Amino acid sequence: MDKRINKLEKDDQLHLQSGQVIVSLATAVKELLENALDAGATIVDIKLTEYGAEAIEVSDNGHGIQESDFESLVLKGYTSKLQEFEDLASVESFGFRGEALSALCILSELSVRTRVASASIGYELLYQQTGELTMKTPVQKQPGTTVTVKKLFHGLPVRREQLAANSKKEFLKLLRVLNGYGIIMNGVRITCSVVSNGKTTVALRTSGHADMLENIKDIFEPQKLKNLKMTAPDADLLEEYNVSQENRSSVYTIAGWISDCEHGSGRNTNERQFIFINRRPSEYPKISKLIAAVYREFNPKDHPFYAVDIQLDRENIDINVVPNKNQVLVQNEKLLLATIKATLRETFRTTPSALPYRAMT
Ligand code: ADP
Ligand code: MG
């Protein structure tokens, strides 16, 4: 066998990479939703046929796509959100790598309909698998963009089979993702409906309130929630977390809501637990474990609902850790953890009924 190093053809490289950018139904829809949000949409409609296995359609009323961008829209590494690597520190959009549409195009049958508000007509666009524009047809359309993804993973039989066989489970994972955006995206109305066997069901409908608590109430029926009261850690906590002298001044804020200590959500799953870093839904196991542990101090029998937004200066985080950007690295993490602990304890301590659980019984 010839073991020499060969250069992979561009198409083969694309094929190999795409399956890692879009790993599941949830990542596919998340990328499309984020594109809609990055386009300034205030209304996003998501329609899933057979729970997304047959078709995903995401429509927005955002700024649309300029005709001069049609050729590059789906090419890998083409983005309107970043000019050079240095811009990453200041990027405010969800996307910035220019990978999602390119990956979706190779993994599915992709079509785009778009219209900028200043144009009188929209266009339907079709692309080759490798992202070259093949067809551009004028269509009547409201301003905004609709991206349709049919037969996701059709070229990856194992994953396609997985998706079809577990479509409801995959859909529930997606719903958790959408709930996160529903909570944090003030002013954006998100609807997600499922068409299955010809029947349409609305799985999520948010009203785009200007306030996190109202958004939460749209989606969940939470028991009593407490507003987090951001509190600096005292000397003992700083010691416990080994925070060095020079790292003791905080550069972030913590805000959000958590079940009070008598009314947990009753579930030990992450379905009802949300962490946001600079309004980006994120997974942060160290923080979720910490919240669980502090909650147990006050209520050992139950698990809280929570939605916690941590705001940091962009220089203090690295969001480019995994392709879907839901994991971040935070500078001075120890102080952040100590502050979260102090914040939770203070939040519960100041509830009149929030005596430590043992004392209540
Ligand atoms: P990224 O979001 O990282 O830039 P994508 O592949 O997701 O990469 O999208 C490529 C580009 O296509 C975006 O930078 C944006 O300019 C444009 N785009 C994608 N979706 C939309 C949309 N719904 N509305 C307007 N522009 C869009
Ligand atoms: Mg994107």
pLDDT at 268: 66
Q: Is the pLDDT of residue 310 over 80?
A: yes
Strands 189-196, 43-49: pairing is parallel
Cβ(79) to ligand 1 under 6 A?
Answer: yes
Cβ(302) to ligand 1 under 6 A?
Answer: no
Query: To which residue do tokens 């200041």 refer?
Result: 90
pLDDT tier, 354 (very low <50, low <70, confident <90, very high otherwise): very low
Cβ(125) to ligand 1 under 6 A?
Answer: no
Nearest to 158, CA basis, from 24, 276, 292, 39: 24
322-335 burial code (b ≥16 CB/10 A, e <16): ebbbbebebebbbb
Ligand in closest contact with the CA of 75: 1
pLDDT tier, 294 (very low <50, low <70, confident <90, very high otherwise): very high
Ligand 2 centroid – CA 102 distance (Å): 10
Q: What ipTM was predicted for this assembly?
A: 0.99
Helix boundaries (H) for the chain: 10-21, 25-38, 100-107, 157-165, 167-184, 212-219, 235-240, 285-298, 333-349, 357-360
Amino acid identity for residue 274 in this structure: F
Nearest to 251, CA basis, from 328, 337, 345, 331: 331
Cβ(99) to ligand 1 under 6 A?
Answer: yes
pLDDT tier, 48 (very low <50, low <70, confident <90, very high otherwise): very high
Pocket test for ligand 1, best of 79, 123, 125 (most atoms within 8 A of CB): 79
DSSP 55: E
Cβ(100) to ligand 1 under 6 A?
Answer: yes
Ligand in closest contact with the CA of 114: 1
Q: Would you say 75 and 58 are in contact if contact means Cβ atoms under 8 Å apart?
A: no
Q: Would you say 190 and 60 are in contact if contact means Cβ atoms under 8 Å apart?
A: no
50-78 burial code (b ≥16 CB/10 A, e <16): ebbbebbbbbbbbbbbeeeebeebbbbee
pLDDT tier, 350 (very low <50, low <70, confident <90, very high otherwise): low
Cβ(131) to ligand 1 under 6 A?
Answer: no
pLDDT at 351: 57
- Domains of the chain (ranges; CATH) run 10-213 (3.30.565.10), 222-360 (3.30.230.10)
Ligand in closest contact with the CA of 64: 1
116-154 burial code (b ≥16 CB/10 A, e <16): beeeeebbbbebebebebeeeeeeebebbbbbbbeebbe
pLDDT at 124: 98
Ligand 1 centroid – CA 37 distance (Å): 10
pLDDT at 17: 85
DSSP 206: -
Ligand 2 centroid – CA 353 distance (Å): 46
Ligand 1 centroid – CA 154 distance (Å): 23
Atom of ligand 1 nearest to the CA of 94: 2
Cβ(36) to ligand 1 under 6 A?
Answer: yes
Mean pLDDT confidence for 125-144: 96
For the ranges 8-17, 139-148, 276-285, 341-350, which has the lowest average pLDDT? 8-17
Q: Would you say 326 and 319 are in contact if contact means Cβ atoms under 8 Å apart?
A: no
Ligand in closest contact with the CA of 102: 1
Atom of ligand 1 nearest to the CA of 63: 25
| Other beta carbons less than 10 A from residue 39's beta carbon | 19
| Radius of gyration, alpha carbons of the chain | 23
Atom of ligand 1 nearest to the CA of 99: 6
| Other beta carbons less than 10 A from residue 162's beta carbon | 16
Ligand 1 centroid – CA 354 distance (Å): 47
pLDDT at 358: 37
